[in-house]
Amino acid sequence: MSNKKLRIGKIKKSAAGLPAIVETIKQVVGEAGVTRGWKALNSMNRKDGFDCPGCAWPDPDDDRSALGEYCENGAKAIAEEATLKKLTPAFFAQHAIEDLATLSDYEIGRKGRIAQPMFLPQGASNYQPISWNEAFNKIGTALNQLSSPDEAIFYTSGRTSNEAAFLYQLFVREYGTNNLPDCSNMCHESSGVALGESLGIGKGSVKLEDFYEAEVIIILGQNPGTNHPRMLTALQKAKANGARIIAVNPLPETGLMGFSNPQQVKGLLGIDTPLTDIFLPIVINGDMALLKAIGYLLWQYEQQQPGSVFDRDFIRNHTEGYDAFINDLQQQDLDHLSQACGISVTQLTEVAELLKNKTRIIACWAMGLTQHVNAVDTIKEIVNLLLLKGSIGKPGAGTCPVRGHSNVQGDRTMGIYEKPGEQFLNNIAANFNFQPPQHHGYDVVEAIKAMHGGRASVFIAMGGNFLSATPDTNYTAAALRRCTLTVHVSTKLNRSHLVHGAEALILPCLGRSDKDIVNGEEQIVSCENSMGVIQLSKGVLEPVSNELLSEPVIVCRLAKATLGSRSKIDWDKYLQNYDHIRNDIERTIAGFTDYNKRVREPGGFYLPNCNREGSFNTTSKKAHFNIAPITTIKLEENELLMMTIRSHDQFNTTIYGLNDRYRGIYQERRVILMNRQDMDRRQLQQGDVVDIYNHHGGVERVAHKFIVVPYPIPPKCTATYFPEANVLVPVNSVAKKSNTPVSKAVVVTVKKVDA
Ligand SMILES: Nc1nc2c(c(=O)[nH]1)N[C@H]1C(S)=C(S)[C@@H](COP(=O)(O)OP(=O)(O)OC[C@H]3O[C@@H](n4cnc5c(=O)[nH]c(N)nc54)[C@H](O)[C@@H]3O)O[C@H]1N2
Ligand SMILES: Nc1nc2c(c(=O)[nH]1)N[C@H]1C(S)=C(S)[C@@H](COP(=O)(O)OP(=O)(O)OC[C@H]3O[C@@H](n4cnc5c(=O)[nH]c(N)nc54)[C@H](O)[C@@H]3O)O[C@H]1N2
Ligand SMILES: [Mo]
């Protein structure tokens, strides 16, 4: 067993600094060489360059550093894509799928870029080269043979550009289904639902500048040092302007604690800015109780000095449901809430003291909040708190769901959604002369079940790694294996290519950093970042193979091969120049006036956002207070609650390396972080090997051979890495209303086994 390799070091006190620069150079030069690597880094996140394919954190509107804006993990994302290694037909001839499947995700990713379309005939053991035409015809034939378009599933990951996403949904809807599940279903869907219902828009309200004006920034369930490193620069600037930071997390995440800005000399020398002022080591899923406790204490202060704590004008003019909400809040029991979240009344009081006279408050959150059964209610509880303080729709305040994939928000704006709104469908019908299907399609969890149950049999993915990203890996694998055809538009090889339907195709596409030349002209695409800015993205690198097609071109050719003369859409027009795609987006979706012109302006443009402008697009035009109970997850004596999280060396299912530097864990990913008490109770030592079990719904799920690592995590809480632990996440354990898999609260037991 590999625990001989595991090395446990100290948890780092601050993020980034010189080690981040060293890592950056190592990764980029190692994969892409000096010249190509430098070219890529240098144009990443410049106003005329390409959008980082990493996270969706925004670029500063004005002053960007001379050297592009990027971070260690953005550089890793680019190294992954800019690699010069490629997979030739000879590679696939040499390596049977069975053999490739024995490699780790890390090893699979290292193999290189996919360089030509590949086909797996029924019963074959190896992928074989196929021409693009033949590939499109095969998909078209398979789609046209289905007895209903609803038997096909069209997944999207969040790197897809606006242009490709718009065409993709247009094709899928003209073909006849709304089966457009996307990674958002597993990510910020809970935020979209909660914010949509409470505030009338499913997106956050803050701009980057708001950070510099905020008095308090609360960060819940998010690990920015690893997953949104450039957010640390914003937090550093916020601190310099006097902001206080409250971090709510079961783990003392390094990036929350301190930051050595590698773009400043002080930072390079390892001189840190402490970030968090108040750290609340909450128990997993304790956030609802915490937020209620804070609300309760603030209400008590408000009682003592009416009008001094709550923003009465704002509440009166812009909200509804206040009285009922307060009525419910009054009945809470502080000690009970304190127990439920694992935070002492003293610390809760410290937080309330800090907040009581502040009005400019920003709340940021990510997967630690969205991937729970009660995620939607918890996020609405954040909104409740902001509403009490009038902290929405003014400078320095508001909601900040920090998005994951670099264009996940844009894909949704473009209509990648299984539950499209009426207005959107009407616009499609009016502009494109066909009736799009009205009934809802499948989201991710529903899609898995439909394939498993034989109700869907063709699976097409625009990017992503469906098998590894989704819950209940073995169940999902069985679902994919039941398909007649699985198709992946991909840049890199991943596990989803190896667990396939009767026939399978891999269609290699250009990545963000690749030059995209159509008709002899360099094309641009565009993306929407976490704060609703639309920006252009233009690749600069020579593609590793001249057989790669761009995603927009792939969609057009797929549409032509499938719909033929029955299509009402002029796909050839889009194949001339992507400006035509943007013109049609502009005609269909609000906020894109003068798209082609404005997207070419330095820094791009903001989409309209009603909250930011101080209004609420709900039916009553008011923001809603929401009342929901706290729910405690009951654990048996031997059970633990497990969250599945990201290490510092991965982007979702792409594994860059085996280290989790900030947490001090090296050379091993199959680890389970445990509290000492929980280890002692089970007579476990550091380095012991355990099998982890989940029994949700009476089904036994096992993850074999994880190494125990003692860690400062609250009792009864544990952590493992995604995607290794996804075998344990039950497909039937989902968030209410958003149907997001509950990846952060898996009930498990552990059993010691021989190493
Ligand atoms: N380098 C890199 N960047 C990325 C990604 C990546 O994999 N690598 N992924 C991208 C994507 S798609 C996304 S969605 C984001 C994800 O960004 P994050 O949401 O930061 O990612 P996770 O690792 O899932 O971290 C969840 C955090 O929530 C905490 N947490 C877990 N459960 C709870 C809870 O019940 N309550 C509270 N308060 N905290 C909890 C965990 O300790 C952890 O710090 O990052 C994006 N950026
Ligand atoms: N247990 C657990 N499960 C989770 C999560 C968790 O926290 N815990 N997080 C969830 C979240 S937040 C998300 S967003 C999902 C992520 O789910 P996905 O988006 O499906 O997964 P990724 O790992 O981001 O996809 C990586 C693959 O995308 C392809 N790719 C990369 N760039 C491009 C491109 O430009 N174009 C195309 N066509 N393909 C490209 C490559 O082949 C690569 O292998 O996972 C979810 N799953
Ligand atoms: Mo995500």
Residues 6+ apart with CB under 8 A from 327: none
Q: Rounded to whole angstroms, how far apart are CA atoms 182 and 417?
A: 7
| Residue 453, token pair as written in the block | 């149950």
As a whole number, mean pLDDT of residues 45-65 equals: 80
- DSSP class of residue 565? G
**Residues lining ligand 2, Cβ inside 6 A:** 53, 157-159, 183, 186-187, 367, 371, 404-405, 462-466, 469, 489-492, 494, 509, 511-512, 551, 644, 652-654, 722, 726, 729, 743
Any ligand 1 atom below 6 A from CB of 465: no
Angle at 608 between CA 375 and CA 406, to 5 degrees: 55
Where does the pLDDT of residue 67 fall: very low under 50, low under 70, confident under 90, or very high at 90 and above? low
For atom 11 of ligand 1, which residue has the closest CA?
Answer: 404
Gap from CA of 145 to ligand 3 centroid (Å): 34
Indicate whether residue 251 lines ligand 1 (CB < 6 A).
yes
pLDDT at 35: 86
Across 53-57, 158-162, 549-553, least confident range: 53-57
Most informative mutation of 160, 188, 223 for ligand 1 (most atoms within 8 A of CB) = 223
Domains of the chain: 86-186+407-606 (3.40.50.740), 189-401 (3.40.228.10), 640-753 (2.40.40.20)
Distance CA 551, CA 462 (A): 8
Measured distance CA(263)–CA(18) in Å, rounded: 10
Shortest-distance atom of ligand 1 to CA 285: 35
What is the whole-number distance in angstroms between the Cα of residue 191 and the centre of ligand 1?
14
Q: Supply the Cα-derived Rg of the chain in whole angstroms.
A: 25
Q: Could you count the other beta carbons within 10 Å of the beta carbon of residue 34?
A: 10
Least Cα distance to 321 among 618, 671, 8, 634 occurs for: 618
Q: How far is the CA of 368 from the centre of ligand 1 (A)?
A: 6
Token pair belonging to 440: 């809802």
Q: Which amino acid is at 221?
A: G
Do the Cβ atoms of 272 and 264 come closer than 8 Å?
A: no
CA-angle at 703, arms to 701 and 709, nearest 5°: 135
Atom 13 of ligand 1: nearest residue by CA position = 404
Instruction: Name which of 400, 360, 287 is nearest 633 in CA terms.
Output: 287
Ligand 1 touching residue 391 (CB < 6 A): no
Ligand at shortest distance from the CA of 159: 2
- Per-residue pLDDT at 33: 85
Angstrom distance (rounded) from CA 375 to CA 191: 8
Distance 519 CA to ligand 2 centre (A): 31
Q: Which atom of ligand 2 is nearest to the CA of 466?
A: 20
268 pLDDT band, cuts 50/70/90, is low
Instruction: State the pLDDT confidence band at 76, using cuts at 50, 70 and 90.
Output: confident
- Per-residue three-class SS string for 686-740: CCCEEEEEECHHHCCEEEEEEEEEECCCCCCEEEEECCHHHHHCCCCCECCCCCC
Residue 690 has pLDDT above 60, yes or no: yes
Mutate which of 81, 407, 408, 465 for ligand 2 pocket (most atoms within 8 A of beta carbon): 465
List pLDDT tens digits, range 5-30.
899 999 888 887 778 777 788 888 88
pLDDT band at 66 (very low <50, low <70, confident <90, very high): low
Query: Which candidate, 536, 521, 538, 534, places its Cα nearest to that of 577?
Result: 521
412: nearest Cα among 619, 614, 735, 196: 196
Q: How confident is the model at residue 2 (pLDDT cuts 50, 70, 90)?
A: very low
Please name the residue whose Cα sits nearest to atom 22 of ligand 1: 645
**Matching residue, tokens 């840190």:** 272
When pLDDT is cut at 50, 70 and 90, the band that residue 398 belongs to is very high
More confident residue, 295 or 61: 295
Residue 344 CA to ligand 1 center (angstroms) comes to 25
What integer best gives the mean pLDDT of the chain? 95
Give the pLDDT band of residue 70 (cuts 50, 70, 90).
confident
- Measured from the CB, is residue 54 less than 6 Å from ligand 1? yes
Tally of CB atoms within 10 A around 503: 20
Cα of 744 vs centre of ligand 1, distance in Å, is: 10
Share of the chain above pLDDT 90, in %: 86
Please compute the mean of the pLDDT values over residues 482-500 and round it to a whole number.
Answer: 98
- Neighbour order of strands in the sheet with 128-129: 128-129, 118-120, 503-508, 485-490, 458-462, 152-156
CB of 170 within 8 A of CB of 428? yes
Question: What distance in Å separates the CA atoms of residue 737 and residue 182, rounded to the nearest whole number?
Answer: 16
| Each residue's pLDDT tens digit, 593-649 | 999 999 999 999 999 999 999 999 999 999 999 999 999 899 999 999 999 999 999
Ligand 1 pocket: which of 227, 381, 468 to mutate (most atoms <8 Å of CB)? 227
The residue count of the chain comes to 755
Question: Which letter, b or e, does each residue of 46-67 get, where b requires 16 or more Cβ atoms within 10 Å of its Cβ?
Answer: bbebbbbbbbbbbbbbeeeeee
Query: pLDDT by residue (tens digit) across 183-192?
Result: 999 999 999 9
Q: What are phi and psi of 154, to 5 degrees?
A: -125, 95
Return the ligand 1 atom nearest residue 220 CA: 38
Q: Are strands 671-674 and 701-710 parallel, antiparallel or unpaired?
A: parallel
- Residues 249-270 have a mean pLDDT of 81
Per the omega criterion (within 30 degrees of 0), is the bond before 306 cis?
A: no
Return d(Cα 186, Cα 182) in angstroms, integer.
8
Q: What is the pLDDT of residue 68?
A: 56
Q: Tell me how far the alpha carbon of residue 543 lies from the centroid of ligand 1, in angstroms.
A: 32
Q: Which ligand is nearest to the CA of 444?
A: 2
Considering only 58-62, 68-72, 90-94, 387-391, which range has the smallest mean pLDDT? 68-72
Calculate mean pLDDT across residues 349-374.
98
Q: pLDDT value at position 445?
A: 98
| pLDDT at residue 356, rounded to an integer | 97
Query: Which tokens belong to 211?
Result: 């950070």
Please compute, for residue 353, the number of CA atoms within 13 A of its CA located in the half-sphere on the CB side.
7
Measure 171 CA to ligand 2 centroid, in angstroms: 22
Q: Can you say whether the dihedral through the CA atoms of 371, 74, 257, 205 is positive or negative? A: negative
Per-residue pLDDT band for 63 (boundaries 50, 70, 90) equals: low
User: pLDDT at position 179, please?
Assistant: 98
What is the average pLDDT across 302-313? 96
Give the per-residue pLDDT at 46: 80
pLDDT at 258: 83
Give the confidence band of 64 by pLDDT, cuts at 50, 70, 90.
Answer: low
> Please, which residues bridge with residue 120 across strands?
504
Give yes or no for residue 254 CB within 6 A of ligand 1. no
Look at residue 45 in the predicted model and tell me its pLDDT: 78
State the pLDDT confidence band at 1, using cuts at 50, 70 and 90. Answer: very low
DSSP element (H, E) containing 21? helix 18-32
pLDDT for the residue numbered 271: 65
Out of 71, 283, 288, 645, give the residue to mutate to test ligand 1, the one with the largest number of ligand atoms within 8 Å of its CB: 645
**Residues within 5 Å of ion ligand 3, judged at the Cβ atom:** 187, 404
- Ligand lying nearest the CA atom of residue 743: 2
Name the 3-class secondary structure at 674: strand
DSSP string, 413-478: HTT--SS--HHHHHHHHHHHSS----S----HHHHHHHHHTTS--EEEEESS-HHHHSSSHHHHHH
What pLDDT sits at residue 425? 98
Q: Is 741 exposed, middle or buried (0-12, 13-18, 19+ CB in 10 A)?
A: buried
Quote the CA–CA distance of 467 and 201 in Å, as a whole number. Answer: 31
Token output for 490: 């991909």
Arithmetic mean of pLDDT, 201-225: 97
Whole-number Å distance, alpha carbon 333 to ligand 3 midpoint, is 35
CA 368 to chain centre: 11
Tell me, what's the pLDDT at 547? 97
pLDDT digits (tens, 9 = 90+) for 659-670: 999 999 999 999
The verdict on the CB of residue 648 being under 6 Å from ligand 1 is: no
Atom of ligand 2 nearest to the CA of 461: 38
Residue 653 CA, ligand 2 centroid: distance in Å:
6
Rounded mean pLDDT, 520-531: 96
Q: Whose CA is nearest to atom 34 of ligand 2?
A: 511
Which ligand 2 atom is the nearest neighbour of the CA of 496? 44
CA of 284 to the centre of ligand 1 (A): 13
Nearest CA to ligand 2 atom 40: 463
Name the residue type at position 527: C
Whether the CB of 740 sits within 6 Å of ligand 1: no
Cα 338 to ligand 2 centre (Å) = 36
Query: Candidates 470, 653, 746: which one to mutate for ligand 2, based on the most atoms within 8 Å of Cβ?
Result: 653
